[in-house]
Amino acid sequence: MPYTVPKLTDYSAATLERAANECLSACTAESREVRTDAGLKSFRDRWMARKNGILNQINDRWLKGAPQEAKREAGIQVNALKARITELVEGAHVSGAGALDNECLDISLPGTRRPLGAEHPVVRTSNEIVSVFAKLGYSVAEGPVVESDYYNFEALNFPPNHPARDTQDTLFIAGQQSKPPRERLLLRTHTSPVQIRTMEKMAPPVRLVIPGRVHRNDPPDASHSPMFHQIEGLAVDTNITFGDLKGTLDHAMKALFGSSVRTHFRPSFFPFTEPSAELYVTCFICGGSGKRGSDPCRPCKQTGWIEVLGCGMVDPNVFEFVKDNGYDPKRVSGFAFGMGVDRLALLKYGVDDIQLFFQGDVRFLQQFG
Ligand SMILES: [Zn+2]
């Protein structure tokens, strides 16, 4: 018996669903019986014809006939059913013996190309940095992107109301006014909370790199994005000195940018390190001359130096928060550093707009494949 659209006895969700399922299985069965091109045409007409196709009848009987209070639910069901039927009918093809009559195989046609994916330039840069430190014996740690105020600020020596918090425009999760301030959730503004989380779990010595996504309330422009990536490093042991910090980072920069780069530390301030420094490397684009031919070198602003990261000796106040796990500031010392991966990727690949990394335009990303 060919399928005919039944009249519905009632318009409950269960009845509608049963009717829709019957209709779908009828359509599926008919689509499998199509053996010739003519059969395919009449199958399509039977279901989709504008005047008296089955889809049209469903519209008339199930939707227009529905009482006012059931119209909404019936509309949703009928629309979903129509989408499935349309998909089935459009995807139907001649099958069985009939298919062989109509088909022939042209082995000279090119095959279906299945393009391989590739690492995103930011991910690739991040992996390169991680692998330099992995060779030095650092392990990789990760942590949550939605973080509490305690881990993002307080345990890193940013006390409540400290002005240094203003330097990190923070995106807070809404509706938490009733919670105590240190438990309020935010999108982490740096990967540093993972330092505390790891020190809570692991006794010293530790050597860690922490790659990850961070957020700040920066309006997007060519060099800012509300979402970006950092890599943070932490080494804690007995007798770690600023000399170890300099030696480690000098080696890492040479491994990343070539053995001819020189490094240079300038004093800076971060709440969680003391003393703190910014690390500069000789510009790997102009070789430190500040010029490209007769043109000025833009990436280093003609200075010949590029700032790549912030670093310093872990502030003893930070160790106080994890003192019970073996981090007695009188006994252990350590250094930490953090860098922006996206910025390094921009410099490395000569890209002049950070937004390009996150717009997902395959024409742009393909260049790095
Ligand atoms: Zn330069």
pLDDT, one tens digit per residue, over 263-303 is: 999 999 988 899 999 999 998 888 888 888 888 988 888 99
Rounded to the nearest whole angstrom, what is the distance from the C-alpha of residue 306 to the centroid of ligand 1? Answer: 8
pLDDT score for 34: 84
* Measured CA distances, 208 to 48, 143, 169, 175, 258 (Å): 63, 12, 26, 34, 23
Beta-strand runs (E) in the chain: 139-140, 146-148, 185-187, 206-215, 227-237, 263-270, 273-282, 291-292, 295-296, 305-314, 333-340
Burial class from Cβ neighbours inside 10 Å (0-12, 13-18, 19+) for residue 194 reads buried
pLDDT score for 262: 92
Rounded to the nearest whole angstrom, what is the distance from the C-alpha of residue 252 to the centroid of ligand 1? Answer: 20
Rounded to the nearest whole angstrom, what is the distance from the C-alpha of residue 149 to the centroid of ligand 1? Answer: 39
CA angle 121, 126, 132 (to 5 degrees): 130
Rounded to the nearest whole angstrom, what is the distance from the C-alpha of residue 288 to the centroid of ligand 1? Answer: 6
* Measured CA distances, 318 to 162, 252, 327, 328, 334 (Å): 15, 25, 9, 10, 11
pLDDT score for 100: 58
Rounded to the nearest whole angstrom, what is the distance from the C-alpha of residue 298 to the centroid of ligand 1? Answer: 6
Unique residue bearing structure tokens 């093809």: 93
Burial class from Cβ neighbours inside 10 Å (0-12, 13-18, 19+) for residue 196 reads buried
Strand-pairing partners, residue 310, are: 278, 338
Amino acid making up residue 200? E
pTM score of the predicted model: 0.67
Both tokens of 39, joined, read 């059969």
Rounded to the nearest whole angstrom, what is the distance from the C-alpha of residue 286 to the centroid of ligand 1? Answer: 4
Rounded to the nearest whole angstrom, what is the distance from the C-alpha of residue 307 to the centroid of ligand 1? Answer: 11
Rounded to the nearest whole angstrom, what is the distance from the C-alpha of residue 186 to the centroid of ligand 1? Answer: 37
Rounded to the nearest whole angstrom, what is the distance from the C-alpha of residue 285 to the centroid of ligand 1? Answer: 5
pLDDT score for 102: 57
Amino acid making up residue 250? D
Half-sphere exposure of 29 (CA within 13 A, CB side): 9
pLDDT score for 36: 84
Rounded to the nearest whole angstrom, what is the distance from the C-alpha of residue 260 to the centroid of ligand 1? Answer: 14
Going by C-beta distance under 8 Å and a sequence separation of 6 or more, which residues neighbour residue 263?
246, 249, 250, 253, 279, 280, 281
Unique residue bearing structure tokens 């990967």: 191
pLDDT score for 147: 93
pLDDT score for 37: 85
Rounded to the nearest whole angstrom, what is the distance from the C-alpha of residue 287 to the centroid of ligand 1? Answer: 6
The CA radius of gyration of the chain, in Å to the nearest whole number, is 32
Rounded to the nearest whole angstrom, what is the distance from the C-alpha of residue 50 to the centroid of ligand 1? Answer: 68
pLDDT score for 315: 94
For the chain, give the percent of residues with pLDDT over 70.
98
pLDDT score for 16: 87
* Torsion of the alpha carbons at 189, 191, 197 and 199, rounded to the nearest 10: -130
Rounded to the nearest whole angstrom, what is the distance from the C-alpha of residue 369 to the centroid of ligand 1? Answer: 26
Rounded to the nearest whole angstrom, what is the distance from the C-alpha of residue 296 to the centroid of ligand 1? Answer: 8
What CA–CA distance (Å, rounded) separates 185 from 171?
Answer: 9
Question: What order of strands is seen across the sheet that includes strand 333-340?
Answer: 139-140, 206-215, 227-237, 333-340, 305-314, 273-282, 263-270
Strand-pairing partners, residue 281, are: 263, 306
Using 50 as the pLDDT threshold, list the residues of the chain that sit under it: none
